[in-house]
Chain A
Amino acid sequence: MATMTPAGDYRSTYREDMTIFPTRGSRIALWVGLALLCLAPLVLDRYLLHLLINIGFLGIAALGLNILVGFTGQISIGHAAFFGFGAFASAWAHEALHIPVALAIPLAGLATALIGLVFGAPAARLKGLYLAIATLAAQFILEDFFARARWFTGGVAGRVTEPFSLFGFAFDTDETYFYVVLAFVVVMFAGAANLMRTRDGRALVAVRDHYLSAEMMGINLAYYRTLSFGIASFYAGIGGALYAHYLLFVSVEAFNILFSIQFLGMVIIGGLGTIKGSLMGAAFMVLLPEVVQSLADMLAGGAVDRALKLGASISYLREMAIGAAIILFLIFEPDGLAHRWQQIKAYWKLYPYSH
């Protein structure tokens, strides 16, 4: 953000211009923030840690979808299916091939990337709503495959997995697993932020902004569209694998279309085409049901509760909240939370002389 750099902060080389954290303040904030997060398991209770872990692995998958939707401009309504594939792939690789979990997670990411490339092949030819519909088909086909491939997913019974372990130390509690997820989040987000300043990353953005011009400038459309699908699936696979080794149980029903829509919601609410927006969107989607739940708890026992059957239908209320949040964000804040965050920062930066 050019407007956000303080006066006197000049860039004289391309290298300086491309830094992810341009000012000393932002670099300090990054390290302090990471240090605070490392301390989190010592102070926070189980429940908050659980939410943070959820935000972590969903944020990784949402980041993948954001690379696809926000940076490349391709739509996917089947992200949950890829997330699920990653979960099953990691669990299966550990159980059937006896690969240690720490290795099975990246492998699951690669396997999911391969599947993503297969389903991404139509993406080389399709765009916009045709692609949306094709990925919708991918969602149903993969869901059907999960239900059928008993050797891979355990069928309707689901599949039990082992906790993450490294050098004989099992990360099987919320406190320890938090560090695993945090490490993956840092690596994956740093990877994405760096990807976006390479030639490939800029090519993806060019494909989004005007694909005909991009093609004329020598960008291979088919290659980059498919590549973007592969990257998105890789992130989804990693996220799914982290999910599998956190819950220690993967069930076929979890990866339905509503879950896919939730991922799209995260990307849109967080902000299309922003790296940190993916994490913000994931946080929003994880916290939204909690807010709905606490609102319902506040009303519990009252006349409103009895008249509307709030307690019994809390899951529908959550779904409605998700739908309503997507609609309201698209109408009133189409640039998402990341944009809102920039505006808040800009407001305080210039306060009280904002004009």
Chain B
Amino acid sequence: MELGFLLQLLLNGLIVGALYGVVAMSFVLIYKASQVVNFAQGEFLLVGAWVCWWLLTAWQLPFWLGFLVTLAFMTLFGILLQVVVLRPLIGEPVISVIMVTIGLSIFFQALMKWMFGVFAQPFPPVFAVERVRVLGLEVQSVYLFSLAISVAIMLGFWWFFTYSKHGLAMRATAFDQQVAASLGVSVPRVFAMSWAISAVVSAVAGVVVGVVNGVSSALSFYGIKVFPAVILGGLDSIVGAVLGGLIVGVLENLAQWLDAEWLNWGNMYQVAPFYAMILILLIKPYGLFGTETIERV
């Protein structure tokens, strides 16, 4: 077992983990703002990636233009979902809200399979240079691009929630809806906005993964992988989501390596995060940074 291989694994884990972090962040955004656990987060990636792929191949748009049109589309998509499907369910029990997002998830997954087929489709090449060497390690340039985008999105979130008016309104709503509404924050608009932002950010992640691995329905599995990340970090903590995503990314790569070296069980890459999640739920259900809810009668 040479050190270089381990480093390579860690780097891969961090790159994939950064993407998990981005998706987890947009998941947490929806949860914080509107208390909805979005089981359809993976479908945001899926829809975004397919739309971008379709614009690039069927319409032959240049990448930057197709990308921008995708983002515009996803903004509308997120708002529409919130207004049409989620708004009638405000005040309903948790199970109804969870089930409706699950329903959305299988609906869009099947719709995408119907429209674009089940086979992975490669993106048209976006970068001229295939791979670069960083610190003696081979890295595909798309990976670097994905890491850069992830970091940019995280910085964007930080700026948005610390300085912008809308971001502050969102934090106020997350803190207490009634107080926020009484101070002039339009709560329905904040809900719609959080869904729009979440859809857009997830779509960016979807496009990045699509460029790296090709677009296929496997993308929606990112929406499931998000759960270990957010549970680890704490359901309502954006910092926790990022950290959780990174940890899950590294964890699954390490688990795969352990498996290949000694255990030979197979499939650890997919399952290890879920074992970790069960453990965390048993030991520390509110995660690293989540707020513990105290219930009073």
In A94-148, the 8 Å CB interface with B consists of 121-122, 125-126, 128-130, 132-134, 136-138, 140-141, 144, 147-148
User: What's the dominant secondary structure at chain A's contact region?
Assistant: helix
Measured between beta carbons, the chain A residues less than 8 angstroms from B168 are none
Measured between beta carbons, the chain B residues less than 8 angstroms from A136 are 224, 227, 274
Mask, B77-112, CB within 8 Å of A = 1, is 000000001001100101110111011111111110
Chain B, Cβ-Cβ closest to A313: B114
Measured between beta carbons, the chain B residues less than 8 angstroms from A69 are 95
B155 within 8 A of A: no
Measured between beta carbons, the chain A residues less than 8 angstroms from B88 are 331
**By the criterion of a CB under 8 Å from any partner CB, how many residues of chain A are at the interface?**
46
Measured between beta carbons, the chain A residues less than 8 angstroms from B96 are 268, 330, 334
A258 within 8 A of B: yes
How many angstroms from the CA of A77 to the CA of B102 in the assembled complex?
Answer: 10
A122 touches B281 (CB 8 A): yes
Contact for B278 among A141, A318, A322, A334, CB less than 8 A: A141
How many angstroms from the CA of A129 to the CA of B231 in the assembled complex?
Answer: 11
In B160-218, the 8 Å CB interface with A consists of none
In B220-245, the 8 Å CB interface with A consists of 224, 227-228, 231, 235
Known contacts A317-B114, A331-B89, A334-B92; is-contact A261 B224 (Cβ 8 Å):
no
Contact for B270 among A134, A144, A323, CB less than 8 A: A144
How many angstroms from the CA of A136 to the CA of B275 in the assembled complex?
Answer: 11
Chain A, Cβ-Cβ closest to B110: A319
Contact for A129 among B85, B98, B278, B297, CB less than 8 A: B98
How many angstroms from the CA of A324 to the CA of B265 in the assembled complex?
Answer: 38
B131 within 8 A of A: no
Contact for A330 among B100, B106, B228, B297, CB less than 8 A: B100
A326 within 8 A of B: yes
Known contacts A122-B281, A126-B285; is-contact A316 B95 (Cβ 8 Å):
no
A212 within 8 A of B: yes
B293 to chain A, nearest CB (A): 10
B125 to chain A, nearest CB (A): 29
User: What's the dominant secondary structure at chain B's contact region?
Assistant: helix
B116 to chain A, nearest CB (A): 11
B37 within 8 A of A: yes
A326 touches B111 (CB 8 A): no
In B34-93, the 8 Å CB interface with A consists of 37, 85, 88-89, 92
B99 touches A316 (CB 8 A): no
Chain B, Cβ-Cβ closest to A331: B88
Contact for A320 among B114, B275, B277, B278, CB less than 8 A: B114
A75 touches B95 (CB 8 A): yes
How many angstroms from the CA of A134 to the CA of B274 in the assembled complex?
Answer: 9
A-B contact pairs, 14 of them (CB 8 A): A122-B278, A122-B281, A130-B231, A132-B95, A134-B278, A137-B275, A137-B281, A212-B295, A264-B102, A313-B113, A320-B107, A327-B100, A330-B92, A334-B96
* A interface residue numbers (CB < 8 A to B): 69, 73, 75, 77, 121-122, 125-126, 128-130, 132-134, 136-138, 140-141, 144, 147-148, 212-213, 258, 261, 264-265, 268, 272, 309, 313, 316-320, 322-327, 330-331, 334
Top 3 A-B residue pairs of the complex, sorted by shortest distance between their CB atoms: A323-B107, A326-B103, A319-B110
